[in-house]
Copies of this chain bind each other. A is one copy, B any other.
Amino acid sequence: MRYVLGLDGGGSKLLCVIADETGRMIGSSLAGPTNSSYNTPEEIELSITSVISEILANHNIARQDVSIVYGALPADGQLSISTITKNLHDGVKVNLCGEYVLSLFGAIQEDYGAVVQAGTGSFAHIRTPKTEITVGGWGPILGDEGSGYYIGKNALMACVRMADELGIFTILQERILTYCKQVKMRDLCTLIYATPSNKQSTLIASLCPIVGKAAAEGDKVAIDILEDAAEMLFMQASSVLKLPDVEARFPLTVAGGVWKTNPLLFNCFSTKIKQLFPQIDLRYPLFEPVIGGVLLGLRDLGFPVKAKIEELKHHFSAYSISADLFQ
């Protein structure tokens, strides 16, 4: 039996999913971060090595039986490839690609299309037969509008405006203080700046679901924040959809945790897309990016991914995204 591996690495963790050539999911494993900006080469090697050894050991799979790996890792490519090969075998096909390639294929099983990513950061990416462009993705200081960081930061700013009597009341203040186990905004402020800079974005982005919940309960400030974030994500989408080779029924989808905790966000976003780009085929995402890697590997092995999508939905249900979240 041949196997395929999908790897999705980031600033906080590395996720690995393995499937056999019949399209059945065998298992998954998790290791530490693999981000060259924050982690040493040794840490990155360790994450890759441990995520692969664990998954093989747990499911009693021989290294030689893994045929194809698709991965997106924010780490040095040479280092990643050699570590993966070392942990498998010289003949394994290792395909490292951008996060959006896995996101797009995981979401809608297409090679061409646009994807608007909103996780801790944000960006829009498009791939047509002729070109490939990314808009956004400028990080927490210069950009990432509409991201989890952006939403969390705007929520914090609304709370300090309330504390300074410059803004209206929002339930976000009490909710965020409780979540962060603080009594006053000034203490929370101290806590945030005392957090190491590589953890600050994650902490701030983690406030995002609180905003989604407050918005669902009718908090005006939370609703405004999400509507603004949707506008920002729509702007990024609109910039890539303006490309001349975007034809009618061109597919667009979304990826990233922020969409899942904030139904209002997708609602506002899709309304705008339908209004201003009625010819675009906006589709709900089916799977997490890591499954994009697995499905690309399966396709390379000759597995008819699109024809057997219902079967795959069943096998990979642990990493599928509920359509309810978007309706």
Q: Which residues of A contact B (CB under 8 A)?
A: 37, 135-136, 138-139, 141-143, 153, 156-157, 160, 164-166, 189, 192-193, 197, 200, 204, 235-236, 239, 242
Complex CA gap A143/B200 in Å reads 15
| Known A-B contacts A136-B164, A164-B136, A166-B135; A142 and B192 likewise in contact (beta carbons under 8 Å) | yes
A193 CB contacts on chain B under 8 angstroms: 37, 139, 141
A135 CB contacts on chain B under 8 angstroms: 164-166
Shortest Cβ-Cβ A-B pairs, 4 listed: A197-B197, A135-B164, A138-B160, A142-B156
A156 CB contacts on chain B under 8 angstroms: 141-142
A142 CB contacts on chain B under 8 angstroms: 153, 156-157, 160, 189, 192
**Can you offer 25 A-B residue contacts whose CB atoms are under 8 A?**
A37-B193, A135-B165, A135-B166, A136-B164, A138-B160, A139-B189, A139-B192, A141-B153, A141-B156, A141-B192, A141-B193, A141-B200, A142-B153, A142-B156, A142-B160, A142-B192, A143-B157, A143-B160, A164-B236, A164-B239, A165-B242, A166-B235, A166-B236, A166-B239, A197-B197
A131, chain B: closest CB distance, angstroms: 14
A165 CB contacts on chain B under 8 angstroms: 135, 239, 242
Complex CA gap A239/B37 in Å reads 41
Starting from the known contacts A141-B153, A141-B200, 17 additional A-B residue pairs (CB-CB under 8 Å) come to A37-B193, A135-B164, A135-B166, A136-B164, A139-B189, A139-B192, A141-B156, A141-B193, A142-B153, A142-B160, A142-B189, A142-B192, A143-B157, A164-B236, A164-B239, A166-B239, A197-B197
Complex CA gap A142/B236 in Å reads 24
Q: Are A204 and B141 in contact (CB under 8 A)?
A: yes
Interface-centre pick from A136, A164, A200 (highest chain B CB count, 10 A): A164
Complex CA gap A123/B236 in Å reads 33
A180, chain B: closest CB distance, angstroms: 12
Complex CA gap A189/B134 in Å reads 15
A153 CB contacts on chain B under 8 angstroms: 141-142
A306, chain B: closest CB distance, angstroms: 32
Complex CA gap A160/B140 in Å reads 13
Q: Closest chain B residue to A157 by CB distance?
A: B142
